[in-house]
Amino acid sequence: MKKNRISRRGFLQTTGASTIALMAANLSSPGGVFAGTLRTMAFPGNKWPGRGVLNFNESAVVSGVVQYATVKQMIDESIMDLTGESSVAAAWEAIFPASNPISTSKKIAIKVNNTFTTKTHWQVVQAVTNGLVSMLGGTFPAANISIYDLGTSGWTAYSAARFPGIVVGPSGASHSDATAGRNIADCVYNADYLINIPVIKTHWESVGSITLGFKNHIGSHNPVGCPNNSADLINNRCGGIIKDKTVFTLLDATKGTKGGYNGSEQTFTTYATSMRSASSTQTDPCTIIMSTDPVVVDYLGRKIFRIDMNDATYGSGRYDLITAAQNADYGVGDESDQHWDYREFINGTLTTALDSEKMAMTGGLGLEQNSPNPVSLNTAIAYTVSAELMKYKPRICIYDLTGKMVWRSGATQGRSTMVWDGHAFDGRVVPNGVYVYRIVAGSASVARKLIVRR
> Dihedrals φ, ψ of 52, to 5°?
-160, 165
Q: Which comes out higher in pLDDT, residue 122 or 213?
A: 122
In this predicted model, which residue has the larger pLDDT, 43 or 279? Answer: 279
pLDDT the model gives residue 321: 67
Q: Which of 30-34, 252-256, 372-376, 385-389 has the highest mean pLDDT?
A: 252-256
Mean pLDDT calculated for residue range 36-46: 51
CATH class for domain 40-335?
alpha beta
Helix (H, G, I), strand (E, B) or coil at 226: coil
**Percent of the chain at pLDDT exceeding 90:** 44
Q: Which residues pair with 379 in a beta bridge?
A: 420
* Average pLDDT of the residues of the chain: 81
What value does the mean pLDDT take over residues 117-135? Answer: 97
Q: Where are the domains of the chain?
A: 40-335, 363-452
* Residue-by-residue DSSP string for 129-190: HHHHHTHHHHTS-GGGEEEE-S--S--TTS-TTTSTT-EES-----EEETTTTEEEPHHHHH
Burial of 167 (0-12, 13-18, 19+ CB in 10 A): middle
Mean pLDDT across the stretch 55-79? 96
CB-CB neighbours of 65 under 10 Å: 11
Question: β-strand 167-168 against 145-148: which pairing, if any?
Answer: parallel
Q: What is the mean pLDDT of residues 317-345?
A: 63
Beta bridge partners, 350, equal: 345
Average pLDDT over residues 93-122: 94
On the question of pLDDT at 353 being above 60, the answer is no
User: What residues pair up with 440 in beta bridges, in sequence order?
Assistant: 395, 445
Inform me whether the pLDDT recorded for 15 exceeds 70: no
DSSP strand pairing (51-56 vs 341-346): parallel
Q: What is the pLDDT of residues 153-188, one digit of tens each?
A: 789 999 999 999 999 998 889 999 887 788 999 999
Q: What are the pLDDT digits (tens) for 133-162? A: 999 999 999 999 999 998 777 899 999 999
CA angle 119/46/214 to nearest 5° reads 35
Q: What is the share, in percent, of the chain residues with pLDDT greater than 70?
A: 78
- What is each CA distance from 246 to 40, 105, 345, 406, in whole angstroms? 16, 18, 25, 35
Q: What is the pLDDT of residues 225-264, one digit of tens each?
A: 555 555 566 766 677 899 889 999 999 999 999 877 778 8
**Does residue 32 register a pLDDT over 70?**
no
pLDDT category of residue 328 using cuts at 50, 70 and 90: low
CATH number of 363-452: 2.60.40.4070
